[in-house]
Chain A
Amino acid sequence: MTDQSKPAIQFENVSRHFGAVKAVDHADIEIHDGEFFSLLGPSGSGKTTCLRMIAGFDKPTEGRIYLYGQDVSDLPPFERNVNTVFQDYALFPHMNVGDNIAYGLMVKGVSKPERLKRVDEILDLVQLKGYGDRKPSQLSGGQRQRVALARALINHPKVLLLDEPLGALDLKLRQQMQVELKAIQQRVGITFIFVTHDQEEALTMSDRIALFNQGRIEQVGSPSEIYEHPASAFVAGFVGTSNLISGELAKRVSGKMGTFSIRPEKIHLGSVDVNVSPDSYSADGVVRDVIYLGLYTRYLVQLDGGGEVMVIEQNLKTTSMDVLKIKGQRARLHWKKEHTHEVGG
């Protein structure tokens, strides 16, 4: 039934309007079989609406959505083999963990012994063996999260949708779950579509990322592509931190007009007498501020002729005493030409 040669999910010119608000505007996406794909963007950028349309909770105003080649645009959620892990987990409070997980099998008429067997297996997978009789209210946030995951995975969906599933967890647990989720995805081999507003999370886990801004897709690519070659100023600013230089300054540094982005860690900070190799650009300025962060130090440099640039350098040999002395001194910044990306207007 599933045509593996077709993309797992394909958006064909999909728009979703709520009155005058264009939540999603002419989106084209192709998500491959077995991929860990993230929809990344600030809140209100349309990523969750896309997820809801894949799940079937929302219908596109325009355009079609295909699941392994099958047009599912008009199918209700219970007729598409796609499952969702909800942001608030949406566990049924009146059922215990086992019944929650078996719900999908129960409504499909799978026999009770079979259900019990598969619930045991999946509880094992999410490391919750023996929790079947508990009520959701007796579980911690992380455990509820695993139950929600198990409840979706047990149905062997063609695609698993995850709507900011780690949003409610604290940082430590979050990082642990990131690793675990990725491991589970590789084990079960199901296509995961992951919605998040956390760029670091998206970079850590994804095979590919679609970056949303105001209902439109700014860029689709692997984490390194998006990070190293941002397609727009928005992408450069949203994913990681970036220095944008434009106008007169850009012309003086590179000889070209336009807007360029340079990642702060690509820039080297040296004394004003340092020689710059021909494959690099350079600019002089005054170090306005120094923020010592242990692993690395962040410098804010006021360039001559306007503009402020952030520089990050690892503290390989330096200590806080050393770096703080630099504050207020003149410095020369230089970086490889290839690390300068034109990002348009």
Chain B
Amino acid sequence: MPSKSYSGQRASWGLKLASVAALLFLHVPILIIFLYTLTPDEQTFTFPLPGITFKWFGVALQRPDLWRALTLSLQVAAVATLAALVLGTLAAAAVYRSNFFGREAISFLLVLPIALPGIVTGIALRTALGTYDISFSYWTIVIGHATFCVVVVYNNVLARFRRMQGSQIEASMDLGANSFQTFRYVVFPNIATALLAGGMLAFALSFDEVIVTTFTAGQQTTLPIWIFSQLSRPRDRPVTNVVAILVVLITFFPIFFAQRLSAQNSDIEGGSK
């Protein structure tokens, strides 16, 4: 492990040990679920495992309720992401291009749904639905998810706008491109990867969200809701393990690529200077 720092000092053993311990604490628990997908034990979480079996993956595949939950979660995440992309980009563009009074307030308003505990958003939306007699539907879930997804796209796109060389938009218009052409040929290519990164994060956020969803889903079951019901009243322990792993995998890749994308972009910019 390279331990030479910029300042040329070496990390002490104590520091390294504490860092490794923190990293293990962050990641080992998830690995334990992987382990448990192989247990033949249906009733308890006995460790060491009494044996090894791969049958639960097959069992999970056969469960129509799981497929329905998965489909619903994917649909909700896709539409919430789309809404977040549009609303977040508009807000970022507005804040970037003008110095209007209250732009701090906009940022604050958008951050609020992730800064306040999820239960606040959840119960507020639930109460509002009750007040106006709106019945639970696919759209009530989407609306709930969009509130906290917008800020993810907003932050990513605004950061990219701020790193974009300022005079590019002026240069484009100066060369005769109208606002729409300027967006298509200059602005969009510049923010495309930020949209991709923000969109993937928003997707992951929505896909495994459970707190707000419990308040806005009614009788519908998303995948996280399905897992949650198993947490309080376990019936299908081994299948739950498989589903948990599925959720981990479905969210891992978008997040991983989004992070790589942001890291790469800052690398490229750093290199060109």
Contacts and interface: CB of A to CB of B under 8 A. Distances in A.
A284 B22 CA distance: 82
Interface stretch (A86-94, A223-231, A238-246): A86-94
Interface in A105-123: 106-108
B175 A104 contact: yes
Interface string B120-153: 0000000000000000000000000000000000
A77 interface: yes
B176 A107 contact: yes
Nearest to B192: A94
A83 B177 CA distance: 12
Interface string A67-97: 0000000001110001110111011111000
A208 interface: no
Nearest to A163: B167
A77 B173 contact: yes
A107 B167 contact: no
A103 B170 contact: no
A57 B185 contact: no
Nearest to B177: A107
A55 B189 CA distance: 24
B94 interface: no
B62 interface: no
Interface string B159-182: 000000101101111111110010
Contacts of B170: 55, 57, 77, 84, 86, 90
Given A104-B176, A107-B176, A108-B176, A90 B171 contact: yes
B190 A83 contact: no
A104 B173 CA distance: 9
Nearest to B269: A93
A84 B181 CA distance: 18
B195 to A, nearest CB: 14
Interface in B189-215: 189-190
Given A90-B165, A90-B167, A90-B168, A84 B185 contact: no
A261 B190 CA distance: 53
B167 A76 contact: no
Given A92-B168, A107-B185, A78 B177 contact: yes
A216 interface: no
Nearest to A137: B272
A155 B176 contact: yes
Contacts of B189: 92, 94
Most buried by B among A55, A82, A92, A155: A92
Nearest to B272: A137
A93 B187 CA distance: 11
Most buried by B among A84, A86, A90, A151: A90
B111 interface: no
B177 A86 contact: no
Contacts of B175: 78, 83, 103-104, 107, 151-152, 155
A89 to B, nearest CB: 8
A228 B181 CA distance: 49
Interface string B227-258: 00000000000000000000000000000000
Contacts of B79: none
Contacts of A103: 172, 175, 177, 185
Interface string B7-27: 000000000000000000000
A110 to B, nearest CB: 11
Interface in B3-61: none
Contacts of A90: 165, 167-168, 170-171
Interface in B63-93: none
Contacts of A107: 172, 175-178, 181, 185
B261 interface: no
A152 B175 CA distance: 7
B167 A77 contact: no
Nearest to B181: A107
Contacts of A108: 176
30 contacts: A55-B170, A57-B170, A57-B174, A76-B173, A76-B178, A78-B173, A78-B178, A82-B174, A83-B175, A84-B170, A84-B174, A86-B170, A87-B167, A88-B167, A90-B167, A91-B171, A92-B171, A92-B185, A92-B186, A92-B189, A93-B165, A93-B272, A94-B190, A103-B185, A107-B172, A107-B176, A107-B177, A107-B178, A107-B185, A152-B174
A-B residue pairs, 7 tightest by C-beta: A90-B171, A90-B167, A104-B175, A107-B177, A77-B173, A94-B189, A137-B272
Interface of A: 55-57, 76-78, 82-84, 86-88, 90-94, 103-104, 106-108, 137, 151-152, 155
Given A55-B174, A77-B170, A88-B167, 10 more contacts: A78-B176, A84-B174, A86-B170, A86-B171, A90-B168, A92-B168, A92-B185, A92-B189, A93-B272, A107-B175
